[in-house]
Amino acid sequence: MAGSALRRLMAEYKQLTLNPPEGIIAGPINEENFFEWEALITGPEGTCFEGGIFPAKLVFPPDYPLSPPKMQFICEMFHPNIYSDGRVCISILHAPGDDPMGYESSAERWSPVQSVEKILLSVVSMLAEPNDESGANVDAAKMWREDRDQFNKIAERLVRKTLGLPPP
């Protein structure tokens, strides 16, 4: 089981290395454990997260790609679809069986044809366009709706933080 997961992860790693999508880097930090990756995602241009480099951890199950990996940002995040501990709430990361929010159609959920690249691209578009209906972080969702300036300020601080710059 783990053997086929490993082969597929290796293939994905190779593809992501040779043809990386713009502003995205992902791979196992330590190849002793090929089932734990780190990804860097660049905040999409024209959004409040522009310019930030957001690190995230991807943990793959032994039966990958039958089950989705888990993704968690390891930097501070403030976003309607990211839990305060950094876990990402997007539908393609949900296994076909479980539906924590109770509104997704199975078509949006995980399938083995998804890949790390697709997940990361989805996360980039999630950063650009939060879905304020699924409240992984209710405060962020509320602020996004009602006080966009404040939200942008927080995002700006986070961006500076990920770049290792002191807050303005």
Partner 1 sequence: MPVTLVDRLPLPNLKVYTAGSVSLLSIAVYYALSVTSDPNWRTNVTLGRQDAMEQGNEERLLPAPALSGSRNASEQFVDVLTFMMQEPLCMWTLINIAYCSLAVFGFGVQRLVFGQLRVAEAQRVKDKFWNYVFYKFIFVFGVINVQYMDEVLLWCSWFTLVGFLHLLGQLCKDRYEYLSSSPNTGGWAHVRLACLLGGILAAATALLGAAAAWGLPAGRDTFAFMAAECILVLVAVLHVAARYVLQLYEADAAGPAAYYTHLVFDSVSLVVELLHVLHMVVYSNMLVSMASLVLLMQLRHLLHELQARVRRHRLYTELATHMSRNYPMASKEEVEKNQDNCAICWEPMKEARKLPCSHLFHNSCLCQWVQQDASCPTCRRALAAAGAARPHSDAAQRHPNHLFHFDGSRYVSWLPSFSVEVTRVRPEAALAGAQLDAAAAQLQLMFPQYSRAALATDLARTRSADLTLDNILEGRLPELADMVPPEPVIPSVAAPEPTPAPAAPAAAPAPGGVPAPGGVPAAVRVDVATATASSAGPFAAGSSSPPEPEAAPGVRFSGTAEEREALLARRKEALLSAARRRYLERLASLPPATSPAAPAPQAPPPC
Catalytic residues: 89
**Alpha-carbon gap, residue 82 to 117, rounded angstroms:** 19
The 3-state DSSP class for residue 82 equals strand
Binding residue (CB under 8 A) for partner 1 from 62, 100, 129, 133: 62
Pairing state between β 53-59 and 70-73: antiparallel
7-36: contacts with partner 1 (CB under 8 A)? 7-8, 10-14, 17-18, 20, 23, 25, 27-36
Q: Select the residue interacting with partner 1 from 82, 96, 103, 128 (CB under 8 A).
A: 96
Helix pair 148-162, 138-146: axis angle to 10 deg? 120
Question: Is position 46 an interface residue for partner 1 (rule: CB under 8 A)?
Answer: no
The distance of closest approach from Cβ of residue 29 to partner 1 in the complex, given in angstroms and rounded to an integer, is 7
Q: Which residue, 102 or 167, has its beta carbon nearer to partner 1?
A: 167
What six digits make up the tokens of 43? Answer: 């905040």
